[in-house]
Amino acid sequence: MAFVPFDDRDGWIWFNGDFVPWRDAKTHVLTHALHYGSSVFEGERMYGGEIFKLTQHSERLKRSAELLDFELPYSVAEIDEACKATAAKMGYEDCYLRPVAFLGPEKTSVSALENKVHVAIAAWEWPSYFDPEVKAKGIRLEWAKWRRPDPATAPTTAKAAGLYMICTMSKNAAERRGYADAMMLDWRGYVAEATGANVFFVQDGVIHTPNVEAILDGITRKTVIELAQAKGIEVIVRHIRPEELSTFSECFLTGSAAEVTPVSEIGEYRFKPAAISLGLMEDYSKLVNGQLK
């Protein structure tokens, strides 16, 4: 399939309460968000006509905006309905949705008290974040150069655009060297997350995952923890040192885009997708497709 730039596609985007033609959903070059990172967003998936955990995503969008010191001009219920309407307007039953809220161009300076909050929602077809043929075998990651910041220096619990710049830099560097992604440490040197997904490890039938002091508390992360516990698998949330990776047999990533993706390699450490990671990958697929209650 030929690549089509995201600003030159057919369709509709929900923008400040109305649908506008896809190519007309624009903002000015002096938009505050472009210069100062005043933007928050969500990534959601629709399966069979239902957006998975929709309200949780809308609630997090609202919380993220509040952490960046601005308030959405729409309620959670209104954002929910706008997401559903956007997918319907595009004629999708299965798709990825991107709600985004940002400060506009009314004033371009560090101060933003006079800036309007804009909200847009786009939907597009996006089958799999990682190559499906590679996914079940486990993807390869390298160590990222950049670390997740101290919560005292940035609103780390917000899904804020500015926090993703080091993720982009890390993923670009990894892909140039033939890896699928990069694993990031936090500011103290503990294992944190991949560039856009949470991470889990397996040791003797028990799942271990980093706590969320400096990373996004992913909605998929919470869902997979619930799935594992429902199967009687113990889940331990704790600090994980990089050198501990030699003691883990399995590793997998989770996220709305990544879903559940096994990992075969992080830097010098090796893992083998097995019963727990592959089983949770299957369970998650069944859950989002309405086959698992």
**Active site residue ranges:** 159
97: three-class secondary structure by DSSP: strand
Longest pairwise C-alpha distance within the chain? 56
The residue whose two tokens read 């896809």 is 22
Length of the chain measured in residues: 293
Query: For residue 10, what are the CA distances in angstroms to 20, 22, 60, 84, 199?
Result: 11, 6, 29, 18, 36
* DSSP bridge pairs for 143: 183
The residue whose two tokens read 């982009």 is 168
Is 12:122 a contact under the CB 8 Å cutoff? no
Cα separation, 282 vs 132, in Å, equals: 13
Cα separation, 216 vs 218, in Å, equals: 5
Cα separation, 112 vs 1, in Å, equals: 42
* Count of Cβ atoms closer than 10 Å to residue 168 Cβ: 12
Helix axes 275-288, 219-230, angle to 10 degrees: 110
